[in-house]
């Protein structure tokens, strides 16, 4: 059953341009929910959202992309309508690479086409680094490499403490703090230096909140509180540079100029120089806007993506369309 939040009005002009089906894909710990944008009878591009977002982040971009290639935008575990990970389990980047493999195997895709934003871009990049022969192309929107930070031991220790705290909260069954809808919009909009325009916050909130049982006029966040735990796993700079030599598929990188790098930016450009030597093609585009420009102003990047896909959409899509039993 898909949870619907009542009395929310969305600017879903997108569905008039391009239809989608709500899906629920089985995985060992439950299910992965998502939206499969038409066409659904062919292998799609798998779209992965950022940290604490959900597949609604692609609501305004997906309808603008080329109509002959479907988009399967998923909710990561613990996000949106997807199942949470089992109690005591930590959310980290490798969870999401494992998930991509689960989904690819489930549909028996001969190749996987990947598009990710922020954490989703990082997850898609790591998957490509691990399984380069299975990826036909990769699109990273304002997020590519795993973040590298020095002296990570104290941060890892704090992350473990946070995990235990949020894990206990998740198991308690207590309802999180609830707020009026306007307050929820402001909370979402304020993240990442006011990254999301207030009028587009509902695309994230739709799959992220539920009405309070004590006050139906207020809402609480339904995402897993364990997601707030900081990372306890960290790639070394050496491993990241060595791994970049495995990233062979064509790669499109879109960087929003109003967004930060979340680490020393020289780490990114050092990696980029390796990718230029190893990948079949690396396209780097700088686009004005905040971290969520793909949601605020999708018209600024849809043509860039379409041109890239038009060149590298060369592998068959005949195998791996939608399955009837996953449609909601």
pLDDT at 173: 83
Q: Which residues contact 17 (CB under 8 A, 6 or more apart)?
A: 63, 64
- Max CA-CA distance within the chain? 58
Cα–Cα distance between 21 and 282 in angstroms, integer? 32
For residues 6-25, average pLDDT = 67
Q: What is the CATH number of the domain that holds 101?
A: 3.40.50.1820
For residues 165-187, average pLDDT = 91
- CA–CA distances in Å: residue 302 to residues 50, 262, 298: 18, 25, 6
Selecting among 82, 118, 123, 189, the annotated active-site residue is 118
Cα–Cα distance between 208 and 293 in angstroms, integer? 20
What angle, rounded to 10 degrees, do the helices at 237-244 and 265-278 form?
30
Give domain status of residue 135, yes or no: yes
Query: What band does 158 get if pLDDT is binned at 50, 70 and 90?
Result: confident
**Cα–Cα nearest to 291, from 216, 219, 188, 206:** 188
Cβ-based burial of 74 (10 A; exposed 0-12, middle 13-18, buried ≥19)? buried
**pLDDT tens track for 235-248:** 888 999 999 999 99
Question: Does a cis peptide bond (omega within 30 degrees of 0) precede residue 187?
Answer: no
Give domain status of residue 201, yes or no: no
**The token pair that represents 96 in the structure block:** 């999401």
Q: Is the pLDDT of residue 217 over 80?
A: yes
Give domain status of residue 65, yes or no: yes
Give domain status of residue 254, yes or no: yes
Number of separate domains in the chain: 1
Q: Is the pLDDT of residue 321 over 80?
A: yes
Give domain status of residue 217, yes or no: no
Give domain status of residue 195, yes or no: no
pLDDT at 16: 55
Mean predicted lDDT score pLDDT of the chain: 91
Give domain status of residue 207, yes or no: no
Cβ-based burial of 95 (10 A; exposed 0-12, middle 13-18, buried ≥19)? middle
Give domain status of residue 64, yes or no: yes
Cα–Cα distance between 7 and 17 in angstroms, integer? 23
- CA–CA distances in Å: residue 2 to residues 20, 34, 221: 15, 11, 16
Q: Is the pLDDT of residue 318 over 80?
A: yes
Of 20-29, 130-139, 190-199, 289-298, the one with minimum mean pLDDT is: 190-199
For residues 206-230, average pLDDT = 92
Q: Which residue do the tokens 């473990």 mark?
A: 160
Cα–Cα distance between 125 and 135 in angstroms, integer? 10
Residue 56 contacts residue 11 (beta carbons within 8 Å): no
Domain extent at residue 316 = 14-145+234-326
Query: What band does 90 get if pLDDT is binned at 50, 70 and 90?
Result: confident
Q: What is the pTM of this model?
A: 0.93
pLDDT at 172: 86
- CA–CA distances in Å: residue 55 to residues 61, 119, 200: 11, 13, 14
For residues 75-92, average pLDDT = 93
pLDDT at 232: 67
Residue 129 contacts residue 247 (beta carbons within 8 Å): yes
Is 118 a known active-site residue? Answer: yes
pLDDT at 216: 87
């Amino acid at each position: 059953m898909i949870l619907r939040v009542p009395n929310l009005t969305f600017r879903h002009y997108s569905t008039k341009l391009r239809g989608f089906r709500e899906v629920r894909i089985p995985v060992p710990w439950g299910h992965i929910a998502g939206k499969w944008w038409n066409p659904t009878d062919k292998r799609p591009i798998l779209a992965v959202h950022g940290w604490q977002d959900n597949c609604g982040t692609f609501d305004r971009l997906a309808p603008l992309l080329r109509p002959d290639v479907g988009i399967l935008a998923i909710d990561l575990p613990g996000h949106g309508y997807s199942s949470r990970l089992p109690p005591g389990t930590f959310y980290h980047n490798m969870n999401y690479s494992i998930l991509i493999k689960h989904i690819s195997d489930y549909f028996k895709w001969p190749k996987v086409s990947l598009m990710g934003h922020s954490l989703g871009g990082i997850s898609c990049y790591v998957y490509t680094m691990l399984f380069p022969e299975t990826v036909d192309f990769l699109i990273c929107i304002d997020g590519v490499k795993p973040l590298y930070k020095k002296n990570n031991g104290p941060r890892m220790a704090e992350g473990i403490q946070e995990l235990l705290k949020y894990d206990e909260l998740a198991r308690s069954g207590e309802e999180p703090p609830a707020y009026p809808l306007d307050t929820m919009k402001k909370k979402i909009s304020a993240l990442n230096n006011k990254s999301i325009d207030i009028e587009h916050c509902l695309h994230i909130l739709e799959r992220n909140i539920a009405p309070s049982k004590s006050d139906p006029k207020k809402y609480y966040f339904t995402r897993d509180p364990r997601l707030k735990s900081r990372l306890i796993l960290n790639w070394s700079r050496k491993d990241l540079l060595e791994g970049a030599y495995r990233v062979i598929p064509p790669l499109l990188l879109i960087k929003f100029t109003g967004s930060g790098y979340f680490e020393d930016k020289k780490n990114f450009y050092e990696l980029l120089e390796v990718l230029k030597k190893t990948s079949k093609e690396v396209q780097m585009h700088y686009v004005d806007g905040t971290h969520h420009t793909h949601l605020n102003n999708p018209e600024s990047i849809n043509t860039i993506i379409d041109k890239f896909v038009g060149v590298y959409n060369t592998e068959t899509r005949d195998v791996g369309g939608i399955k009837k039993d996953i449609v909601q």
